[in-house]
Amino acid sequence: MSSPTRPPHLDIRLSVDHERDLRPHRGAQLEAHLRVEIADTGVPAELPAVELAVIIALDVAEPRRHTVRHALPAALRALPDGISYAVLGSGPEPDLCYPVGGEEWAIAGTHDKRRAAFAAQALALHRDGPRPAGYAVWMARVRALLAARPLSVRHLLLITDGSSGPGETRLEEELDACAGQFTCDVLAIGTDWAPDPLLTIAERLHGTAEFVEERLGNAITGAIRRLRRVHSPELPIEVTARLAVRQAALGEKAPRPHRLGGLFEPGEPGRPHRWRFPTYQWESGVRDYLLTLAVDAEGDPLETDLQFAVVSIGDQSVPVIARWHRADERNPCVVAPEGGASVRSMQDVTAMHHALRTGLRALDPLQRELAERHLGEAARLATRLGVNRVLENIRAFADIIDAEAGRVRLHATVNTETLGQKILWAGSRPGGPLIKAPIRTGGGPRCRDCQHRAGREARYCIKCGGQLL
């Protein structure tokens, strides 16, 4: 989509915070809070519209025509002059509704936008009969259209009421093909859509998924304005790690929580290896990430500062340095109060949203005990963190009896009409595997007490603490 190097007009600041003293064992985890601050230095406030290509796709059934009838024409009239755009409507296959006359792309201008707003009154929407078989069909159509428009920023606005036909079997495969080709925001209307596919699309294509309904026109206009604030369409975050690091994962925690897919790049034998995590749509502001490294401590020395990884973005790099510390009664592990504090805060926020999602999903079908347990945990963490929006979402389905103790009681009758909206707000899907590196083994000294083999640089055995031969 763009050059991965830092544009000369951007000032990037990168910092890392993490626990410095780790307990050694095989498969230990090191978690670090990465903060990236971006500031423009003398560039226009908005990206020129001629560098944007946007597709508006309407996966909407005929009974909801009134929702798009007024919102879409107004949004099309508000397009910035010079932007490349197209509108896809619904049928047995996604149809190009605008531009007409054999063209695939329109260039916004005074007369063009007037014609587009008029054409929007007669857009094809889902009717009785065959419908596209799930979101993968929409993704494939958009990918084909955008392939012929190699502009700096390429984006899809998918407006859906969940009315695509059944048969969603290729979404993950299609999203693999779309990754890096364009980004996507999902705007949900109605109540008949499932939240999980929408979260999957938004997460994999580095966008957002939100319920809009009455705010559809403003949401379309706001998304395009946000695209114009993009100063760098792509900036990869690279993690170069020592051989003891077996796996790595990176997740954005703010402003848009989601997991990042990464690519493992093996190094030469005996040399550090690398993970590359693409990120998109960089504008001025701050982003926070949680980096997780799974490390095998068996070949490392104790009580020695070790550089586990170097994190890089643009021309900025910071080291991740920690030590293996085997605490015991004679030599307790003393940690500075501020050490890794931001990591713990991010962990609490992640746990809060995970508990909220789990509790909400337990409401349909109703699993009362499970829902109350997880919504109670979400309430406890939200109270500690001061996140009132989470408490408001919980109160839509339950009474909070004791927030600090994590006790809630579901309403006698649980109305699930707005459940999907709340799950969307709760954020991205939890979990996901770490990206593995191949395991390399090598000989080293044995412990004189237990005969456990360690790495060549090790001085003490991590199994029993004894001195190595």
pLDDT tens digits for 392-443?
A: 999 999 999 999 999 999 999 998 888 999 998 887 554 444 566 654 444 4
pLDDT tens digits for 55-113?
A: 999 999 888 888 888 899 999 999 999 999 999 987 778 888 899 877 899 999 999 99
pLDDT for 429: 55
pLDDT for 163: 85
pLDDT for 410: 96
pLDDT-derived band at 328 (thresholds 50, 70, 90) equals low
Kind of pairing, strands 84-89 and 52-59?
parallel
Rounded to whole angstroms, how far apart are CA atoms 175 and 181?
A: 10
pTM, entire model? 0.83
Helix (H) or strand (E) holding 234: strand 232-234
Longest dimension (CA), the chain: 85
pLDDT tens digits for 46-60?
A: 889 999 999 999 999
Residue 373 has pLDDT above 90, yes or no: yes
**What are the C-alpha distances in Å from 385 to residues 106, 291, 392, 403?**
47, 21, 14, 12
Residue 7 has pLDDT above 60, yes or no: no
| Calculated CA dihedral for residues 359, 257, 248, 275, nearest 10 degrees | 150
Residue 301 has pLDDT above 70, yes or no: yes
Q: Which domains does the chain have, with CATH numbers?
A: 10-41+234-332 (2.60.40.3670), 49-228 (3.40.50.410), 344-426 (1.20.120.1690)
**What are the C-alpha distances in Å from 329 to residues 25, 156, 305, 334, 335?**
18, 59, 22, 12, 15
Residue 387 has pLDDT above 70, yes or no: yes
Please state the rounded mean pLDDT for residues 256-269: 83
Of the two residues 417 and 142, the one the predictor is more confident about is: 142
Mapped to the 3 state alphabet, what secondary structure does 265-302 carry? ECCCCCCCEEEEECCEEECCEEEEEEEEEEEECCCCCC
Across the chain, mean pLDDT equals: 84
Contact assessment for residue 98 and residue 119, using Cβ atoms and an 8 Å cutoff = yes
Contact assessment for residue 347 and residue 31, using Cβ atoms and an 8 Å cutoff = yes
Kind of pairing, strands 280-282 and 232-234?
antiparallel
Residues 6+ apart with CB under 8 A from 360: 371, 375, 393, 397, 419, 422, 423, 426
Percent of the chain past pLDDT 70, that is, above it, reads 83
pLDDT tens digits for 329-360?
A: 444 444 444 446 688 888 888 899 899 999 99
pLDDT-derived band at 445 (thresholds 50, 70, 90) equals low
pLDDT for 438: 59
CA proximity to 359, closest of 343, 370, 350: 370
175, amino acid identity: L
CA proximity to 85, closest of 175, 154, 182: 154
pLDDT for 131: 75
| Strand order across the 237-241 sheet | 21-22, 316-324, 306-313, 237-241, 273-277, 263-265
Q: Tokens 């763009």 appear where? A: 2
Structure tokens at 259: 């997991």
Residues 6+ apart with CB under 8 A from 112: 99, 106
Residue 3 has pLDDT above 60, yes or no: no
Half-sphere exposure of 325 (CA within 13 A, CB side): 16
Percent of the chain past pLDDT 90, that is, above it, reads 49
